[in-house]
Amino acid sequence: MQHSSIKAVLTNTPPLTEVTVNGWVRSFRSNRFIALNDGSTLNNIQCVVDFENFEEALLKQVTVGSALRITGTLIESQGRGQKFEVQVTDIFVHGSADPDTYPIQPKKHSMEFLRENAHLRIRTNTFSAIMRVRSALSFAVHQYFRENGFNYVHTPIITGSDAEGAGEMFRVSTLDAIAPPKTETGDIDYKQDFFGKETNLTVSGQLEAETYAMALGKVYTFGPTFRAENSNTSRHLAEFWMIEPEMAFYNLDDNMDLAEDFIKSVIGYILEHCQEDLEFLDKRLLDEEKNKPQAERSPMALIEKLKFVSENNFKRVSYTEAIDILRNSKPNKKKKFQFPIDEWGADLQSEHERYLVEKHFKCPVILFDYPANIKAFYMRLNEDGKTVRAMDILFPGIGEIVGGSQREERLDVLKEKIKALDIDEKELWWYLDLRKFGTAVHSGFGLGFERLVLFATGMGNIRDVIPFPRTPQNAEF
Ligand code: 4AD
Ligand code: MG
């Protein structure tokens, strides 16, 4: 196969070389200028056609959206807007696209329209830039852990456990839809799901990752995660990707240090490797924000914000200190919080989290030592008997991006917790075994990958940073 990526042609091919490129037509002006894009770069390559040299029937097939192979000579461009162009000698049409029905035209489409066309929206500049940044970030995740002595563990997607105890699970079923097995009372017998066992799609790989940390030392998972929460927000998906490191012999401080270093490192990676896409997304955000009232605009441009986060320390504050701050705060002149903070022990709403990050501290915040009763069963109880060694990282414009903790390593304390929450000890026999056989201090956290991509791309809705968003409305593709 003799062809190069458009990126390679535009960046490191000498002029007067004969080149062959493949791609999709973004525009075809004056029967002469084809803008071709192959996804390797944001930039199109301009291909100049002397239409006298080509059959009219062939040129008719060169429409927006069609796939072509073009051969020609790379020359320095006389026109503005590009350094090089291809003087075309041969065109092969892989497949044409009917201009009347091809949905992605060279104009601005609404995000809503593009979500309905998730299979084609990747052919726009915005989505190709987002998805390249997403890909680079996921590479940076693996690289970071690899370089820091972690092993990658694949935890199960189908599982019998509810790691978060929140009951927000999708059941897995092998039920016969026409004649589902029934109980004696005639109801569908869900106990017969998954070959007779009750199972669900995982809400977190943490508990299984803990077993690996207690053998391999430092591990991480990075995989799809499912939550059946029917929340229609710009921050929630029913299917999202989570990164979950788990480390033996790490306490909560070590955990916070790692999480902060990790986030800074992966953001540093895209600043270095995704400059072109980030510059495009930066400009895009600036354009979007022009239509917003001054008060709602973000105080920093995208790249400035990414640099700020990668270079400055996050603020660490205990839950109790945060509650004091919130109690003494007015979010703005007239309005109070929609959910006023009256008592210690209340869970923070996103308006509180965003106030702390965006108005009070003006930087990412790590909140730690939360009340035990608003956090999951596995978190280590503090000496005060009422708080746990939990930490959440809150980000500007996003809210919670990380949730983690030091795990309860004491068998007796963990058993009491499980009992108090009415969880059947038998279901967690393997998890309890870790506390019986060589238990040790250990910690970990979960980072919602799409929330990181949201932050990194400056997009406003989580549905636009995952290829095929699964939300209560959308599971079509
Ligand atoms: O805070 P969460 O629920 O924590 C856990 O699942 C722990 N087991 C993680 C661990 O300690 N290993 O979720 C972790 C992160 C959140 O901070 C958020 O970024 C993301 O996962 N997240 C979601 N992202 C998109 N859509 C949803 N519905 C999400 N729910 C959580
Ligand atoms: Mg959480």
Residue 201 scores a pLDDT above 60: yes
Name the pairing type of β-strands 315-318 and 67-76. Answer: unpaired
402 C-alpha vs ligand 1 centroid, how far in Å? 7
Is 188 contained in some domain? no
Length of the chain: 477
Cα 296 to chain centroid distance, Å, stands at 23
- In a mutational test of the pocket of ligand 1, which residue from 240, 256, 374 has the highest number of ligand atoms less than 8 Å from its CB? 240
Q: Are residues 333 and 387 in the same domain?
A: yes
Percentage helix, strand, coil, to 5, in the chain? 35, 25, 40
Domain check: are 93 and 211 in the same one?
no
**Residues forming a β-bridge with 37:** 24
Q: Show the tokens assigned to 410.
A: 């004491």
Is 411's pLDDT higher than 90?
A: yes
User: CA nearest 45: which of 77, 14, 92, 89?
Assistant: 77
Distance 448 CA to ligand 2 centre (A): 10
* Sheet architecture: strand order including 442-448: 151-152, 218-226, 239-248, 442-448, 399-406, 387-395, 365-371, 315-318
Q: Dihedral sign, CA of 403, 408, 413, 419?
A: positive
* 469 domain residue, yes or no: no
Over residues 444-469, the mean pLDDT reads 97
Q: Is 366 in the pocket of ligand 1 (CB under 6 A)?
A: no
| Burial (0-12, 13-18, 19+ Cβ within 10 Å), 167 | exposed
Beta strands in 303-380 (DSSP E): 315-318, 365-371
Angle at Cα 270 formed by Cα 317 and Cα 119, nearest 5°?
Answer: 110
Average model confidence (pLDDT) for the chain? Answer: 93
Q: How confident is the model at residue 468 (pLDDT cuts 50, 70, 90)?
A: very high
Look at the pTM and tell me if it is higher than 0.80: yes
What the block records as the tokens of 172 is 């897995």
Whether residues 393 and 284 share a domain: the answer is: yes
Ligand that comes closest to the CA of residue 404: 1
For residues 26 and 130, membership in a common domain is answered with: no
Residue 192 has pLDDT above 70, yes or no: no
Flag whether 74 is in a domain: yes
For residue 148, give Cα distances in angstroms to 262, 265, 430: 10, 12, 28
Of all ligands present, the nearest one to the C-alpha of 235 is 1
- In the chain, the number of structural domains is 2
Contact 64, 25 (CB under 8 A): yes
Max CA-CA distance within the chain?
A: 85
Average pLDDT score over residue span 30-57:
96
Please give the C-alpha separations between residue 304 and each of 259, 295, 313, in angstroms, as whole numbers: 21, 19, 15
- Rounded CA gap, 106 and 469, in Å? 24
Continuous segment of H or E residues that includes residue 212: helix 206-216
Q: What is the CATH number of the domain that holds 80?
A: 2.40.50.140
pLDDT-wise least confident of 53-57, 282-286, 328-332: 328-332
Q: Which domain holds residue 430?
A: 123-168+203-464
Is residue 1 scored above 60 in pLDDT? Answer: no
Residues 325 and 293 in one domain: yes
Whether 85 is covered by a domain: the verdict is: yes
Residue 186 maps to a domain: no
CA distance 384 to 232: 37
Cα separation, 186 vs 95, in Å, equals: 55
pLDDT band for position 299 (cuts 50, 70, 90):
confident
Regarding the beta carbon of 454 and ligand 1, being less than 6 Å apart is answered no
Q: Is 446 touching ligand 1 by the criterion CB < 6 Å?
A: yes
Residue 59 pLDDT > 60: yes
CA distance 358 to 187: 50
Q: Which of 153, 155, 204 to mutate to test the pocket of ligand 1 (most atoms within 8 A of CB)?
A: 204
Q: Please report the pLDDT score of residue 191 as a whole number.
A: 64
pLDDT exceeds 90 at position 445: yes
Same domain as 287, residue 379: yes
Distance of alpha carbon 326 from alpha carbon 338, whole angstroms:
12
- CATH of residue 398's domain is 3.30.930.10
Same domain, 317 and 415: yes
* Region at 198 (left for phi over 0; alpha for psi -120 to 50; beta for the rest): beta
392 and 252 within one domain:
yes
The reply to whether 1 falls in a domain is no
For residues 332 and 279, which has the higher predicted lDDT (pLDDT)?
A: 279
204 CB less than 6 Å from ligand 1? yes
Same domain for 93 and 229: no
Task: Using alpha carbons, list the distances in angstroms from residue 167 to 159, 198, 207, 457, 468.
Answer: 13, 13, 16, 32, 24
Position 291 confidence tier, pLDDT thresholds 50, 70, 90: confident
Closest C-alpha to 446, from 240, 230, 143: 240
pLDDT tens across 353-387, in order? 999 999 999 999 999 999 999 999 999 999 999 99
Residue 353 main-chain phi, psi, to 5 deg: -60, -45
Q: State the ipTM, two decimals.
A: 0.99
Reply yes or no on whether the pLDDT at 156 is more than 80: yes
Ligand 1 binding pocket includes 406 (Cβ within 6 Å): no
Q: Is residue 86 part of a domain?
A: yes
How far away, in angstroms, is 429 Cα from ligand 2 center? Answer: 25
The residue type found at 168 is E
Cβ of 453 closer than 6 Å to ligand 1, yes or no, is: no
In contact, 67 and 22? CB cutoff 8 Å: yes
Q: End of a domain among 68, 102, 136? A: 102
Tell me the DSSP string of 194-208.
HHHS--EE-S-SHHH
Report yes or no on 187 lying in a domain: no
Same domain assignment for residues 80 and 152: no
pLDDT tens, 168-191?
899 887 767 677 778 888 887 766
pLDDT at residue number 190: 67
195 vs 82: CA distance, rounded Å = 61
The stretch 103-122 carries a mean pLDDT of 92
The protein residue whose alpha carbon is closest to atom 7 in ligand 1 is: 446
447 Cα: distance to centroid of ligand 1 (angstroms): 6
For position 334, what pLDDT does the model report?
A: 67
248 pLDDT exceeds 80?
yes
Share of the chain above pLDDT 90, in %: 78
pLDDT for 2 equals 66
Per-residue confidence (pLDDT) for residue 455, from 0 to 100: 98
58 & 132 share domain: no
Nearest-CA residue for ligand 1 atom 26 is 236
Q: For ligand 1, is residue 469 a contact (CB within 6 Å)?
A: no
Clarify whether residues 367 and 332 are in a common domain: yes
Tokens (6 digits) for 392 = 């959440």
10 Å CB burial of residue 349 (0-12, 13-18, 19+) is: middle
- How much is the pLDDT for 308? 97
**pLDDT score recorded for residue 175:** 66
State the Cα torsion 14-19-25-31 to the nearest 10°.
90
Host H or E run for residue 182: none
User: Considering Cα of 28, then 130, then 463, then 206, what sign does the dihedral take?
Assistant: positive
Write the pLDDT tens digit of every residue in 225-235.
999 987 789 99
| Tokens 């320390």 -> residue | 313
